[in-house]
Amino acid sequence: MKLPILLIALVAMVAAKSAPGRMAARYDHFRIYQLTIETNLQMEELKKIHEHISVHFLNELGAVGNKYNVIVGPLFHRALEKTLKFLEIVYEVIVDDLQKLIDESSVGDDSQMEWETYHTLDTIYDWIDQECAAHDFLECKVIGQSYEGRDIKSIRLSKRSGNKAIFLEGNIHAMEWISSATVTFLLNQLINSEDPEMQRLSEEYDWIVVPMVNPDGFVYTHEVERLWRKNRRPNGYRNESGDCYGIDMNRNFDYHWGGAGWNIDEPCDHWFGGEKPNTEVEIISLQNFVSSFEDGYIRSYMAYHAYGQYVLLPYGHSNTEFPPNYEQMKRIAAAFSDAAADVYGSTFTYGASGLLNYVVSGAAKDWAYGVKKIPFTCTVELRDKGTFGFFLPSNQITEVGLEVTAGLKALVNKAAEEGIFD
């Protein structure tokens, strides 16, 4: 759950360069520094660093002992390095020119859907419509509209009656393009793969997929601000840059909502969880859609995110309280992790999110488990571990798709063995 912290000063700086309707914000010669935080004092100082340096944290600040990536513009390189040296914080410049990285992970040939490049919302949605028109076993439905009026599309694959269902959620966080790329990759495998094992999984289980929970934010990352995370509803607060937009929708679900999380209560920051739970129309649509199915039908709920290579299990709100079937969920997550690693060596760490990352509340997987009583839920944090982070090059999309396909097959089979679908 490595996530961006956009601090206000940087927003102001970037906003100045990217008035809406003009070209997207640019990050020429912005660097990504990786900081290793070893003491509480260093952490406390880091939390205050925006007071004199424009910084954009790519990870939520949590435990001491972790590495944190931070974006800093060319005007502040020297000041940052001076401060880090003074605080004895070990650092490394891992990206020298962020714009180059953004360009290398941008949309390529968008004329039709495939998994060699990232795509725009229109192309993703056109592909969904084509697949729906072509296959009787797909039921496609618009589950609601986003704040700006875009459709939120769903696909349900069902080849026989009496199956239990597996739910796949994508791109609730706008900037995590690999999420919808992977979820559509999986969906394509389920629909079109000739691999007998995939065909069996698409026969024996129903699959419900919402590949794009946050279409407004996603379009905004294409057109205006690549680093955007939230949805685009003006949230009623202002700062020196003007109106503040958006809610972190994976902090807005009503299960132990608002308990904890870095800057979850900062309306102009990228982790704002809302004034109260269930405030966002996208989240309400998603919840209503999940709730529209008979209780006990959906047996697994998986939310795809980037980055860090984790299978995060409930709970997020605590690191001392664990779900009743936590050990069972760990065995299922282990099956995913082992099988995914066999493909290209990518290791996925698994366990309760509150334990592995930091305590944070209001996430989809916790709501699905705690409120909807779905017995296996998780957040899958895709590649990588921070080298490219949110800007994973296009030439890795297919590899991610293949390793996750392998992981998913093993996960479903293990879950079946564990009685999750009984």
Choosing from 156, 305, 372, 414, the residue that interacts with Zn ion (CB under 5 A) is 305
Q: Which H or E run contains 165?
A: strand 164-170
Q: Which is nearer to Zn ion, 351 or 389 (CB)?
A: 389
Q: Which H or E run contains 314?
A: none
Residue closest to Zn ion (Cβ): 305
The C-alpha atoms of residue 240 and residue 16 are separated, in whole angstroms, by 12
Binding-residue pattern over the window 176 to 205 for Zn ion, x denoting contact by CB under 5 A: x-----------------------------
Q: Which stretch binds Zn ion (CB under 5 A): 108-116, 124-132, 298-306, 399-407?
A: 298-306
Q: Which is nearer to Zn ion, 305 or 383 (CB)?
A: 305
The C-alpha atoms of residue 413 and residue 415 are separated, in whole angstroms, by 5
Q: Is 203 a catalytic residue?
A: no
For residues 349-379, one letter each, b for 16 or more C-beta atoms within 10 angstroms of the residue's C-beta and e for the rest, the string is ebbbbbbbbbbbbbbbbbbbbbebebbbbbb
SS3 at position 304: strand
Choosing from 2, 56, 173, 414, the residue that interacts with Zn ion (CB under 5 A) is 173
Contact (Cβ atoms closer than 8 angstroms) between residue 252 and residue 275: no
Helices first, then strands: H and E counts in the chain: 13, 15
The C-alpha atoms of residue 4 and residue 188 are separated, in whole angstroms, by 29
Q: Which is nearer to Zn ion, 206 or 248 (CB)?
A: 248
Least spacing, CB of residue 173 vs Zn ion, in Å: 4
Q: Which stretch binds Zn ion (CB under 5 A): 41-49, 215-223, 271-279, 304-312?
A: 304-312
Least spacing, CB of residue 402 vs Zn ion, in Å: 21
Which residue has tokens 């929970």?
213
Q: Which is nearer to Zn ion, 73 or 217 (CB)?
A: 217
Kindly give the residue spans of alpha helices, DSSP state H, lying in 252-325: 281-291
3-state secondary structure 106-154: CECCCCCCCCCCECCHHHHHHHHHHHHHHCCCEEEEEEEECCCCCEEEE
Total of residues contacting Zn ion (CB under 5 A): 3
The C-alpha atoms of residue 271 and residue 55 are separated, in whole angstroms, by 15
Q: Which one-letter DSSP state was computed for residue 327?
A: H
SS3 at position 234: strand
Q: Which is nearer to Zn ion, 193 or 349 (CB)?
A: 349
Q: Which is nearer to Zn ion, 73 or 273 (CB)?
A: 273
Chain center to CA of 131: 24
Least spacing, CB of residue 261 vs Zn ion, in Å: 13
Q: Which is nearer to Zn ion, 173 or 372 (CB)?
A: 173
Q: Which stretch binds Zn ion (CB under 5 A): 137-145, 167-175, 217-225, 345-353?
A: 167-175
Least spacing, CB of residue 170 vs Zn ion, in Å: 10
Least spacing, CB of residue 4 vs Zn ion, in Å: 9
Least spacing, CB of residue 270 vs Zn ion, in Å: 11
Set 131, 225, 381, 403: catalytic member: 381
Rg from Cα positions in the chain: 20
31 scored as a contact of Zn ion (CB under 5 A): no
Q: Which stretch binds Zn ion (CB under 5 A): 71-79, 168-176, 210-218, 408-416?
A: 168-176
The site for Zn ion (CB under 5 A) is made up of: 173, 176, 305
Q: Which residues are catalytic, by number? A: 381
